[in-house]
Structure 1
Amino acid sequence: MNEETTIDTQELGEKIVKVLKTIYDPEIPVDIYELGLIYDVFVNEEYEVKILMTLTSPNCPVAETLPVEVEEKVKSIDVLKDVEVEITFDPPWTQELMSEEAKLELGLL
């Protein structure tokens, strides 16, 4: 049995979250995961990933580049076969979605 077959989807999910925590919104010094921009991460048995995310606003200056960066960085995890990033504005992002850590970092607590 090789190493690839022993990776479970939960472990893979954690790896994906680690990668997401390296991506920052250029306007806010907090990573996109802590900001609450990642709504969901789906991983199936075929090692295909779908990430449902939002942006701080529909007019976000990185609307074109951020999803591409997310896709490319997550694709860097070797075992993944496919990564799809879907942007949604339902529900719209609000500061309530930020983690306590992010709120603290931005002086909102």
Structure 2
Amino acid sequence: MLYDKIEEVLRTVYDPEIPVNIMDLGLVYELQADDNGKVKIIMTLTAPGCPVAGDIVAEVQQKTEAIEGVTDVYVHLTFSPPWNREMMTEEAKLELGFL
């Protein structure tokens, strides 16, 4: 299924300052994929002033576009609601020592 492939690829994208992928960090707020291969990703960053913001968004765009069956990718960056540690998976919190 296309959604699963996209989620798998997004688990290979990391915030360079935190050794956890963007899915487990809770940075992906919304992921949609329709039957025509159109993908919409709404995501955030750990901080609005993140110096690698463009790099992370570009990596999400490029890796998603490379998936077979994907015809169009729209990545929207938002800071509402602001990211916080509670959005991370339990695994991410354990890995970073927050539990």
Among candidates 1, 23, 33, match of residue 13 of structure 2: 23
Deviations 1:52-100 (A, max 9, x none): 0000011011111110110000111011101110001110000000000
CA separation in 2, counterparts of 1:78 and 1:56?
29
> Could you tell me the TM-score, scaled by structure 2's length?
0.97
2-structure distance, mates of 1:66, 1:100: 23
**Runs (4+) of structure 1 moved beyond 2 Å?**
none
Let me know the Cα RMSD of the aligned residues: 0.7
Q: Are 1:80 and 2:70 an aligned pair?
A: yes
Gaps of 5+ in 1: 1-10
Residue aligning to 1:103: 93
The residue number in structure 2 matching 1:33 is 23
Structure exhibiting the larger radius of gyration computed from Cα positions: 1
The percentage of counterpart residues that share the same residue type is 54
In structure 1, the residue corresponding to 2:75 is in which secondary structure?
strand
- Which among 32, 37, 47 is matched to residue 47 of structure 1? 37
Offset, 1:45: 2.0
Greater CA drift, 41-50 or 29-38: 41-50
Provide TM-score, normalisation by structure 1: 0.88
The AA in structure 2 aligned to 1:68 is A
